[in-house]
Amino acid sequence: MGRLWWRRTPHSVAVSSPARGGRTAYAALAVVAAGSLLHYIPGPPRGDVSYGPAQTTAAFHHIVLPDLAVVQGSGISDASLDRLRAIRGVSDFIALDGAAVTSGGAKVNVIGVNAQQFRSWTPLSTASNQKLWNALDAGGFIASTPVRHKLRLHKGRVYSLAGAATVSLDFAGAAPLGVAGIDMVVSNKVSAQLGLIHNLAALISAPGLSIATLRHDVRAALQGTAAKLVTLRPQHAPPIVTSSGKPTSYIQLFQESAARYCPGLPWEVLAAIGQIESGFGANIGPSTAGALGPMQFLPSTWAAWGISGFGDKGPPNINDPFDAVPSAARYLCAAGGSTAAGLPRAIFAYNHADWYVNEVLALARQYQQAYG
């Protein structure tokens, strides 16, 4: 399993005083070059990602979750892009080139991006794979995993992509892109060579705005331009389900763990930590610090706080989510996570970094909007 060296792990916390002791869905969309459209395809919950080998640079700090896509077949003008960026409440924004090209006799949907910027819009496993982004920025291409299998691509080999011109590119590797229908990604250095439509689309993240408000403000900024808007924020949420048995999904596991083991702790915070630490158990370690399991506990911390959850018999298992998630809820609760005032301190106890607290809380807000 890959290791995220910059992801820290739960630390022991003194709890003698009560005062002491983060939508998640990468929405699915598709590029259709000839029609120049992005269309919404219901996707998996954000955070359903796997981890890969990772070493990150300081330029990569967080994951961005898209709320809305703007698509214009002729390309979005620079003036329109400026107005979109200036919308109050927009926290992140990126423009993408796009078109259909031919590779291996098959039509593939390709987007052209600024590699360092776009990585934050991809699943954590992909965003944190430094070698992949270095290779993309150097002129290679990334493929989605299904397309890699379909075209029988082999990492390190050279393949031809035929658009306005035929360009030979190194295959940098396959990775989850967090979207459906995007087959390949190239850098914006390659976009012009292939003849991709410049600024075909823009992705917008505005977690503080309702979708209705965001769509209204985007339409106003476009000033009557015939662009297509695609809502990417999930519109429907599964109900909160409690049962006498074990939860049947990760969302239910977070919900029930918070309710049973730390009443008052927002389940969305558990979900955010679960996504950030392991991609919902996709990378159980060990990390470079020796952390293990879906909630990335250090063995020493686990020895003090690990419990057998949901009626399981036997010793607590650090790699079992039915033990790890309740244990994380218990740990956060002891650090003050059952109250709004104590929640930031509890998250800080889990990982002694201000950026981590901010990231967990921001991602938890995304869960609240998606599933609230």
Pick the most confident of 44-48, 159-163, 277-281: 159-163
pLDDT surpassing 70 at residue 279: no
Whole-angstrom distance, CA of residue 296 vs CA of residue 286: 8
CA distances from 197 to 143, 191, 295 (A): 19, 8, 42
* Domain edges within the chain: 28-231, 250-371
Whole-number pLDDT of residue 41: 26
Q: Give residue 297's pLDDT band: very low, low, confident or very high (50, 70, 90).
A: very high
- pLDDT score for 31: 45
Cα–Cα distance measured from residue 86 to residue 65, given in angstroms and rounded to the nearest whole number: 18
308-315: long-range contacts, CB 8 A cutoff, minimum separation 24: 309/257, 309/261, 310/245, 310/246, 310/247, 310/256, 310/260
Structural class in CATH, domain 250-371: mainly alpha
Q: What is the pTM of this model?
A: 0.57
Q: CB-based contacts of 341: which residues, under 8 Å, 6+ apart?
A: none
What lies within 8 Å, CB to CB, of 112 at 6+ separation is: 96, 97, 98, 185, 186, 187, 188, 190, 191, 194, 196
Q: How confident is the model at residue 363 (pLDDT cuts 50, 70, 90)?
A: confident
Higher-pLDDT residue of 49, 337: 337
Report which of residues 5 and 11 the model is more confident about.
11
Task: Please report which helix (H) or strand (E) contains residue 221, including its range.
Answer: helix 211-222
Look up residue 359 and give its two tokens.
């990231």
CA-based nearest residue to 364, from 335, 344, 334, 342 = 344
- Checking if the pLDDT of 124 tops 80, the result is no
Instruction: Report residue 273 as tokens.
Output: 């930590």
Query: Rounded mean pLDDT of the chain?
Result: 78
Quote the pLDDT of residue 117.
Answer: 87
Q: Is the dihedral of CA 371, 281, 119, 150 positive or negative?
A: negative
Give the pLDDT score at 38: 31
Residues 54, 306: Cα–Cα separation, whole Å: 28
Q: What is the pLDDT of residue 275?
A: 82
Return the closest-CA partner of residue 353 out of 279, 277, 251, 278.
277
Q: How confident is the model at residue 240 (pLDDT cuts 50, 70, 90)?
A: very low
Return the percentage of the chain with pLDDT > 70, whole number.
Answer: 75
Q: Give the per-residue pLDDT at 130.
A: 80
pLDDT band, residue 116 (cuts 50/70/90): confident
Most confident of 24-28, 250-254, 276-280, 342-346: 342-346
